[in-house]
């Protein structure tokens, strides 16, 4: 399971993994109780943190400039419609980024 949310989602994820499964969280967290439950279930819990650095950011910028990396934009909204943009994001049905346009 790749968990980008943590909290309750992270805790529920332990219940869907089989022994030998791996829970990878993109956020710090977890408790001693969670670690004990994971060990009891035979599940490995890992945390993957990404930190930006100059070389990494330059490599990403180079990919964008070369056209190899593009962001998929689901929708754009003027800043005045930020509530509508937020409502769309809350549906959980978007496949790309929601962009607010500031004039």
Q: Are residues 65 and 91 in the same domain?
A: yes
In our burial notation (b when 16+ CB lie closer than 10 A, e otherwise), range 55-76 reads eeeeeeeeeeeeeeeeeeeeee
Q: Hunting for tokens 């990396």 — which residue is that?
A: 69
CB 7 within 8 A of CB 34: no
Beta bridge partners of 54: none
Q: What domain range includes position 97?
A: 54-101
Q: Are residues 61 and 89 in the same domain?
A: yes
Q: Is the pTM of this model over 0.75?
A: no
Q: Are residues 42 and 58 in the same domain?
A: no
Q: Are residues 92 and 65 in the same domain?
A: yes
Residue 6: pLDDT band with limits 50, 70, 90: confident
The pLDDT of residue 20: 95
User: Does the pLDDT value for residue 54 go beyond 90?
Assistant: yes
Number of structural domains (the chain) is 2
Q: Are residues 38 and 58 in the same domain?
A: no
The DSSP 8-state label assigned to residue 15 in this structure reads T
């Amino acid at each position: 399971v790749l968990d980008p949310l943590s909290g309750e989602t992270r805790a529920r994820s332990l219940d869907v993994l089989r022994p030998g499964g791996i829970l990878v969280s993109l956020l710090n967290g977890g408790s001693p109780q969670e670690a004990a439950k994971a060990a009891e279930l035979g599940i490995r819990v890992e945390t993957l943190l990404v930190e930006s650095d100059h070389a990494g950011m330059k490599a990403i910028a180079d990919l964008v400039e070369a056209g190899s990396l593009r962001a998929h934009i689901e929708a754009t909204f003027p800043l005045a419609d930020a509530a509508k943009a937020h409502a769309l994001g809350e549906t959980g049905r978007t496949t790309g980024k929601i962009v607010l346009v500031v004039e």
